[in-house]
Amino acid sequence: MKTQYYKTLLELQALRNLDTKGTTTDSSSLNTDFQDLLNSLLNSVSIESKPSEQQQIMPNLDNLTSLLSKTTSHQLPPISTDSVTKTGQTGDIDTMIRAASEKYGVDEKLIKAVIKQESGFNPNAKSHVGAMGLMQLMPATARSLGVEDPFNPVQNIEGGTKYLKKMLSKYNGDVTLALAAYNAGPGNVDKYGGIPPFKETQNYVKKITASYFA
């Protein structure tokens, strides 16, 4: 199985764990179903999975994403785009960043540094693994954050900032760990007790912090 699938699983699990506060008793059965399906999927995969096995695993991943949406839909409503323009011009992006910064309490400069590294301020950017928009949200992550259109600059920035805020909160405001989790998934940060030993992630954190702390 490709590394990106693991990252998606870890992101989904992190979002599920971080969003359990305030869950009503009506969703308790869905919570149990989600955890059972996640555990089953994690136990069934391996790095050496064959292509045929990967095809069997991916429908389960889709089911997991769908179930996560059901269990968190009352907590993560679709992101509103009414208050900010959508033209995607640099000046408008600054306004969007400011709005998301104020809403989630994340430094504007940090959001800009992440966007610069992720997409170079291109709202139509799409990576070879399917990450989309200014803050390069994966499809499953975007849906879990309430982002309906990842290529909409307003929704993308708000969704990405929301996720970045979750990572900052998880790691007690440690910017380097939050960035490492944004790139490689919080599961890897927890596994290695810090920035994972992945060249891509280490360079990612280095470039963004250099820009942010400059």
d(CA 209, CA 211): 5
The active-site residue, picked from 118, 148, 158, 200, is: 118
Q: Which residue's entry shows tokens 């290529």?
A: 151
34, 71 Cβ separation under 8 angstroms: yes
Q: Using alpha carbons only, give the angle 149, 59, 151 rounded to the nearest 5 degrees.
A: 10
Residue 118 annotated as catalytic = yes
d(CA 11, CA 72): 14
SS3 132: strand
Query: Helical H runs in the chain?
Result: 3-18, 28-44, 51-72, 90-104, 108-119, 139-144, 153-170, 175-184, 186-192, 199-212
Q: Give the residue numbers marked as catalytic.
A: 118
